[in-house]
Structure 1
Amino acid sequence: MSPTFHSLRHRNYRLYWSGMFLSNVGTWMQRIAQDWLVLVVLGGGAQAVGITTGLQFLPFLLVAPFGGLLADRFDKRKLLILTNSFLGLVGLTLGVLTLTGLAEIWHVYVLAFLLGVGSALDNPARQAFVSELVAKDDLTNAVALNSASFNAARLIGPGVAGILIGVIGTGWVFILNGASFVSPILALLLLRGVPGRPKRGEERPGAVSQLREGVAYLWSRPDLLMVVTIMFGLGTFGMNFQMTMALMATDVYDKGPSEYGLLGSIMAIGTLSGALVAARRRVPRRRLIVGGAVVFGVFEIAAGLMPSYLLFAISLVPVGIIAMTVLTAANAYVQTTVPQYVRGRVMSLYMMIFMGGTPFGAPVIGFVADAFGARWSLLGGGILTAAFAIGALLILAPRSGVVVRTRLRPRPGLVVVTTAPAPMPADEPESVRPGTRDAVSAA
Structure 2
Amino acid sequence: MPLPAATLRSLNHHNYRLWAGADLVSVTGTWMQVLGVNWLILSATGSATSVGLSLVLQALPTLLLGLWGGSLADRLPTRPVVLVTQIAHAIVAATIACAAMSGPTSMTPIYGLVLASGVVSAIGGPALGKFGAEVVPPADLPNAMALGSVINSAGRILGMSLAGVLLPLTGAGGLFLINAASFFAVIAAIAAMRSSEMHRLVPTEASAASVRAGLSYVLRTPRLAVLLALALVLGSLGRNYQVTMAAMSAGPLHAGPGGYGLLSTVFAIGTVAGGVIAAGRRHLTVGLLLGTALLTGVAQTASGLMPGMTTFASLMAPIAVGAVIIDTTFGARVQLDSPDHMRGRVIAVQGVVSAGAGAIGGPLLGWLCDGIGPRLTLGTTGMAVMAATLVAAVVLARLAKVRLGRAVTVPVQGLLFRRVPAEQAPALR
Task: Return the TM-score normalized by structure 2.
Answer: 0.80
What letter corresponds to residue 193 of structure 2 in structure 1?
A: L
- Deviation at residue 49 of structure 1 after TM alignment: 4.2
Aligned residue among 69, 72, 75 for 1:73: 75
What letter corresponds to residue 75 of structure 2 in structure 1?
A: R
**Residues 133-152 of structure 1 correspond to what in structure 2 (within 5 A)?**
133-152=135-154
Q: Secondary structure at the match of 1:8?
A: helix
Structure 2 match to 1:158: 160
Tell me how far apart the structure 1 counterparts of residues 180 and 52 of structure 2 sit (CA, whole Å).
23
Structure 2 match to 1:439: none
Does the alignment pair 1:22 with 2:25?
Answer: yes
Tell me how far apart the structure 1 counterparts of residues 172 and 79 of structure 2 sit (CA, whole Å).
32
Point out the structure with the larger helix share.
2
- Deviation at residue 4 of structure 1 after TM alignment: 0.8
Structure 2 match to 1:204: 205
Structure 2 match to 1:429: none
**Residues 317-356 of structure 1 correspond to what in structure 2 (within 5 A)?**
317-356=317-356
Q: Secondary structure at the match of 1:181?
A: helix
- C-alpha contact (below 8 Å) 2:201/2:341 kept by paired residues: no
Tell me how far apart the structure 1 counterparts of residues 127 and 370 of structure 2 sit (CA, whole Å).
37
- Deviation at residue 327 of structure 1 after TM alignment: 0.5
Tell me how far apart the structure 2 counterparts of residues 317 and 176 of structure 1 sit (CA, whole Å).
31
Tell me how far apart the structure 2 counterparts of residues 313 and 146 of structure 1 sit (CA, whole Å).
25
Tell me how far apart the structure 2 counterparts of residues 167 and 371 of structure 1 sit (CA, whole Å).
41
Tell me how far apart the structure 2 counterparts of residues 156 and 248 of structure 1 sit (CA, whole Å).
25
- C-alpha contact (below 8 Å) 1:274/1:321 kept by paired residues: yes
- Deviation at residue 23 of structure 1 after TM alignment: 0.5
Structure 2 match to 1:114: 116
Structure 1 match to 2:389: 389
Tell me how far apart the structure 2 counterparts of residues 109 and 175 of structure 1 sit (CA, whole Å).
17
- Deviation at residue 247 of structure 1 after TM alignment: 6.2
Change (3 A) 1:400 1:99: farther
Change (3 A) 1:21 1:49: same
- Structure 1: state its 5+ residue gaps: 404-417, 423-443
**Number of residues paired by the alignment?**
402
Tell me how far apart the structure 1 counterparts of residues 338 and 140 of structure 2 sit (CA, whole Å).
15
Structure 2 match to 1:274: 274
Aligned residue among 174, 181, 184 for 2:183: 181
**Residues 191-270 of structure 1 correspond to what in structure 2 (within 5 A)?**
191-193=193-195, 203-206=204-207, 210-241=210-241, 253-255=255-257, 263-270=263-270
Tell me how far apart the structure 1 counterparts of residues 393 and 398 of structure 2 sit (CA, whole Å).
10
Tell me how far apart the structure 2 counterparts of residues 331 and 193 of structure 1 sit (CA, whole Å).
25
Does the alignment pair 1:7 with 2:6?
Answer: no
- C-alpha contact (below 8 Å) 1:32/1:261 kept by paired residues: no
Q: For structure 1, which segment, 56-65 or 152-161, has the greater mean C-alpha deviation from structure 2 after superposition?
A: 152-161
Task: Return the TM-score normalized by structure 1.
Answer: 0.77
Tell me how far apart the structure 2 counterparts of residues 172 and 292 of structure 1 sit (CA, whole Å).
41
Change (3 A) 1:89 1:61: same
- Structure 2: state its 5+ residue gaps: 408-429
- Deviation at residue 25 of structure 1 after TM alignment: 1.2
- C-alpha contact (below 8 Å) 2:99/2:110 kept by paired residues: no
Structure 1 match to 2:411: none
Structure 1 match to 2:425: none
1:83-135 CA-to-partner distances (Å, cap 9, x unmatched) read: 22222333333344334432655455433333322222232112211332112
Change (3 A) 1:2 1:181: same
Change (3 A) 1:108 1:382: farther
**Residues 405-416 of structure 1 correspond to what in structure 2 (within 5 A)?**
none
Tell me how far apart the structure 1 counterparts of residues 307 and 104 of structure 2 sit (CA, whole Å).
39
- C-alpha contact (below 8 Å) 2:201/2:340 kept by paired residues: no
Q: Rg larger in 1 or in 2?
A: 2
Structure 2 match to 1:83: 85
Tell me how far apart the structure 2 counterparts of residues 245 and 170 of structure 1 sit (CA, whole Å).
26
- Deviation at residue 344 of structure 1 after TM alignment: 1.4
Tell me how far apart the structure 1 counterparts of residues 111 and 376 of structure 2 sit (CA, whole Å).
24
**Residues 294-333 of structure 1 correspond to what in structure 2 (within 5 A)?**
294-303=294-303, 314-333=314-333
- Deviation at residue 17 of structure 1 after TM alignment: 1.3
Structure 2 match to 1:362: 362
What letter corresponds to residue 400 of structure 1 in structure 2?
A: L
Q: Secondary structure at the match of 1:132?
A: coil
Tell me how far apart the structure 2 counterparts of residues 420 and 11 of structure 1 sit (CA, whole Å).
44
- Deviation at residue 214 of structure 1 after TM alignment: 2.1
Tell me how far apart the structure 1 counterparts of residues 144 and 200 of structure 2 sit (CA, whole Å).
22
Change (3 A) 1:54 1:373: farther
1:262-320 CA-to-partner distances (Å, cap 9, x unmatched) read: 65443221111111111122222212222322333343455566666666555432221
- Deviation at residue 387 of structure 1 after TM alignment: 4.5
Change (3 A) 1:58 1:20: same
- Deviation at residue 56 of structure 1 after TM alignment: 1.9
Q: Secondary structure at the match of 2:256?
A: coil
Structure 2 match to 1:289: 289
Q: For structure 1, which segment, 358-367 or 138-147, has the greater mean C-alpha deviation from structure 2 after superposition?
A: 358-367
1:364-397 CA-to-partner distances (Å, cap 9, x unmatched) read: 3444456666777766664554454344345x34
Tell me how far apart the structure 1 counterparts of residues 277 and 9 of structure 2 sit (CA, whole Å).
13
Change (3 A) 1:43 1:294: farther
Tell me how far apart the structure 1 counterparts of residues 305 and 40 of structure 2 sit (CA, whole Å).
27
Change (3 A) 1:286 1:197: closer
CA RMSD of aligned residues (A): 3.6
Tell me how far apart the structure 2 counterparts of residues 350 and 181 of structure 1 sit (CA, whole Å).
24
Q: For structure 1, which segment, 247-256 or 146-155, has the greater mean C-alpha deviation from structure 2 after superposition?
A: 247-256
Q: Secondary structure at the match of 1:255?
A: helix
Tell me how far apart the structure 1 counterparts of residues 13 and 241 of structure 2 sit (CA, whole Å).
34
What letter corresponds to residue 347 of structure 1 in structure 2?
A: I
Structure 1 match to 2:400: 401
- C-alpha contact (below 8 Å) 1:30/1:174 kept by paired residues: yes
Tell me how far apart the structure 1 counterparts of residues 163 and 380 of structure 2 sit (CA, whole Å).
28
- C-alpha contact (below 8 Å) 2:135/2:199 kept by paired residues: no
- Deviation at residue 190 of structure 1 after TM alignment: 1.7
Tell me how far apart the structure 1 counterparts of residues 364 and 212 of structure 2 sit (CA, whole Å).
31
